[in-house]
Each structure stands twice: as C-alpha cells, then as structure tokens.
Amino acid sequence: MKKIAAIMLVLAASFSAFAALSVRSLANSFTLEWDEVEGSLWYDIYIDDAFIVRLDSSQLCYTVENLDGNREYKVSWAARDGENNNLDVSIQNCRTLSWDGEYRWVNTSDDDNRGKMKTLTMRVKSAYDSGYGQYPEIYVVRDGKEYRFFPIFNPGEEKGGWIEWDDDSYYAESYRKCAELINSSLINPSRWKLNSMRISPSEVFLSVSSKAFGLTADTDSTIRFFYNDEGRRCLEYRMDGDSLFRKIAFMNPVDGSPVYLLEET
C-alpha cells in the first residue's frame, strides 16, 4: 500500500478530466461513482493527496466518510492497469455538507411524560476543538430556549466528580433540563457525574451516573446521524443503562423502544 500511496497523479493530455467520475457531497462524506474504464484493474481514491483506498475493477462506487463538514477537499480518482499506469484520472475540488440544522420527533401517542415530551427538538451545529477536531454540538430546544446536551462541558473543562442537581452552573442547568425530559418518575436526582464520552463526526456517546436516596442509575446516550431512504437527514437518539435507569426512563411511547428518531425540519 505504501507503493500505491506514493504514486503521483498526473493529468496527461490524453486523459479526459471528469469523464468517468461523479462526486456527490453529503454530510461529512463524499460518495464517488464512476463508469467502468476498459482495461483497468484498480481504482484508487485520494483526498487532499492522501491515499484512501484501492478498489478492484468490479467496484464502481465508494463513500469516503468521517470528513469535516462544510469543508472543501481535493478529490482525486484514478483508473489504473496492472502496472499502475493511469488509464483515466479525475481531480475535483468538492465541499462536504454537514449535519447542522434542527431535528424533531413528534409524539403521536397520548403519553407525553406529563406534558414534557409532546415533541423532542434538537439543534446541531459544527464546532471545533484542537484535541477533538470537528464535532457536533447538540442542543435540546425546550420552552423556547436551548440547552446543550452534548458535550455537557466545554472541551478541556470536563468535571470528574459528583455535581449537585441544583448547582447554578451552565452545565448543571443544561443537564437538568435535558434529564427531566426522559425521567418518568416524580423524583429528581440529588447529584450526577459524567463517566465517559466519545466523539466522531457522525456519532457521539456519553455515559452519566446519577444518585437519589442512595441509589445510583447509570445512563448511556448515543446520538447517530444518518440519511433515511428518502435522502433526509436524521438524528437517532438511543438510550440505554442499568436496570434502575430502565425502570424510570421515558421510553418512546409510540413503540416502547429506547430510540427516538428525529428528522430534519
């Protein structure tokens, strides 16, 4: 593969640029499709001159994922024979889309957790941190205000210990407003803490523990972005946790699952 990566793309006069390749811009990704090139054994793909993948001649499409959103990249593609001669080459500058926007789930049942879950609306915007790179900031929209659901803390300012439920910090207020939506009991925790989180361009995860009357509930939340069959952007919010959490969590009242599917508005 090092040899493949070292091969330079050269546009010769005999090549018809863009003749075989189309690039579709998606959120944090590109989907490349091309026509079969006679005599080709391999199709090689590069992003900003970095080698991505070598595909055999039976494959005529590929999706490059986990790119930054709203960013321009140089997309290079080459059809090559068994001796790595270029049979066709395309080089295009293309810009990715992003997951930024507003997403909503609408409750079609009569059970709305005492009026708190008639709808679930989240807004997403791209953010950047030197340690994490680009990541999605996710806000819960409630009563005309926004409360940051992810990340709970500003990057680099994560707290490892227990935080009082009624703490007056911005992150405690956001946690309260978000946690109240999925708490089906009449009892609020007395304190909570962040256990762990993971970040990627199209999926984030956080684990939180909360305490009440000496009992501890562990909550895992995963948010995943994807396109549905109609090509609409979607946000999947999935809850998981220990047995105590599952007893008090407000599961999706429409199907009883721990999953809420929000579509772009």
What is the sign of the dihedral through the CA atoms of 217, 193, 150 and 189?
A: positive
**pLDDT at site 19:** 54
Q: Is the Cβ–Cβ distance between 78 and 88 less than 8 Å? A: yes
**pLDDT at site 178:** 97
Q: Is the Cβ–Cβ distance between 139 and 123 less than 8 Å? A: yes
Give the confidence band of 20 by pLDDT, cuts at 50, 70, 90.
confident
Distance, CA of 38 to CA of 19 (rounded, Å): 13
Q: What is the mean pLDDT of residues 79-90?
A: 95
Q: What is the mean pLDDT of residues 206-233?
A: 97
Alpha helices (runs of H) in the chain, residue ranges in sequence order: 2-6, 170-182, 243-248
Q: Is the Cβ–Cβ distance between 226 and 234 less than 8 Å? A: yes
End-to-end CA distance of the chain: 43
**pTM, entire model:** 0.88
Q: What is the mean pLDDT of residues 218-233?
A: 97
Give percent of the chain above pLDDT 70. 93
**pLDDT at site 1:** 53
Percent composition of the chain: helix, strand, coil (DSSP 3-state, to 5): 10, 50, 40
Asked whether the predicted pLDDT for residue 6 surpasses 70, the reply is no
**pLDDT at site 187:** 94
In sequence order, what DSSP letters do the residues of 127-158 get, joined into one string?
A: EEETTTEEEEEEEEEETTEEEEEESSS-TT--
Q: Is the Cβ–Cβ distance between 87 and 108 less than 8 Å? A: no
Q: What is the mean pLDDT of residues 103-107?
A: 98
**pLDDT at site 71:** 97
Q: What is the mean pLDDT of residues 135-149?
A: 97
Q: What is the mean pLDDT of residues 261-265?
A: 98
On the 0-12 / 13-18 / 19+ scale of CB atoms within 10 A, 217 is buried
Measuring CA to CA, which residue among 199, 220, 209 is closest to residue 163? 209
Rg (CA), the chain: 23
Count other Cβ atoms within 10 Å, centred on residue 12.
7
